Amino acid sequence: MDKHSGALSGVRIIDLSRVLGGPYCTQVLGDYGADVIKIEPPGGDETRGWGPPFEGDAASYFHGLNRSKRGMAVDLRHPDGKALLLQLLEEADVLVENFKPGTLEKWGLSYEVLSERFPRLIQCRISGFGADGPMGGLPGYDAIIQAMAGLMSVNGEKEGDPLRVGLPIVDIVTGLNAVIGITLALYERTRSGRGQFVEAALFDSGLSLMHPHFPNVFYGGTQPRRTGNEHPNIAPYEVYRTATQPIFLAVGNNVQFTRLCELLECPSVSQDERFASNGARLGHRDDLRAVLESAMANWDGEKLAKQLMHIGVPCGPVLDTSQALAHPHTRHRNMIVNIGHYRGTGSPIKLARTPSHYDTPPPRFAEHTDAILLEAGLTQQQIQQLKAKGVLPEVPVT
């Protein structure tokens, strides 16, 4: 299986995005065969400097988001840089950008202008709040959206302060929503022959993550609150202590709860009226935790989790990052990618006939400029002239 037979083989993407949401989106598309041309500003994608650790000229942060792409750098503020972008768009299917809304319009590159010249072009904009409305055009950042969309209000210990999720969940989901939007637009184009504008906003994506809290509010539930590791609607569904490492139980029905109690050799617990149904267990959560942790007190956590999973009770040991990477199932699922010195996280999307393919590590700054422009029809002399003008920087401009 190679890139030329990937699900998106033949699709060319011009990627003007930087930092996280956009690069995450285009890395997914590149993993499945799209020819992604990453065009960085003269100073480079700022995540190149978000280290340590570093590998080569870029931080690990950059490496985690930019494989399966070819790289060049263009000063789009220069008239020749703008002309060069338009030339590259002649052979492109998708433009991905996450400039502040209004930036491309200021440069004379609005969607209206681009769609008139390139009617089949799909333009995907990733932004904080969208272009209009009360907060339209304002910059958005993952942690700010976690705060404003309600995520922090339901994350943290019961008596603790609102807490940010410990990874950029909103940025990542926005990137995935952009992938969905782009692939939907590509499919629709096979019928209409026309491109369209695709928008993925961090604010919208943050709100979309609030399940089951928003549905609980919609249907008359109490105001959602922080519950630590507890689930607002299900019990037992949280972390429990064992003799060794803690485990996470996610018991969704009475059959699973009965099996849990049988394995722990306390079958009468499932018949106790306090624990006989999910609603009853929710009402006596503290009592339930005390009973279960007493029964687990002499169990090895990992052994217990394995036995519970094998009898159909969802459970897993609480692992740290190193343990998760070393888990044999991580390797079995091809979730670690190695390309020379590059090491990254594999794609979670599995296609049987056209799987992901990894052959291009994250590009060095402006690494593929000459090759891309020669393909586009420029001569080596023209490329050198553009470099001399500063349109095509070869090292980051600080």
| Cα 139 from chain centre | 19
Q: Which two tokens stand for residue 228?
A: 């630590």
Given the residues 161, 171, 204, 287, select the one marked as catalytic: 171
Cα–Cα dist 146/328, whole Å = 33
The pair phi, psi for residue 170, each rounded to 5°, is -70, -45
Cα–Cα dist 227/213, whole Å = 12
CB half-sphere exposure, 267, CA atoms < 13 A: 3
Cα–Cα dist 68/363, whole Å = 9
Asked about 300 being catalytic, the answer comes back as: no
Q: Which two tokens stand for residue 174?
A: 């926005």
The pair phi, psi for residue 20, each rounded to 5°, is -130, -65
Of 143, 319, 155, the closest CA to residue 232 belongs to 155
Strands 247-250 and 237-240: antiparallel
The pair phi, psi for residue 2, each rounded to 5°, is -125, 175
CB half-sphere exposure, 88, CA atoms < 13 A: 27
Residues serving a catalytic function are 171
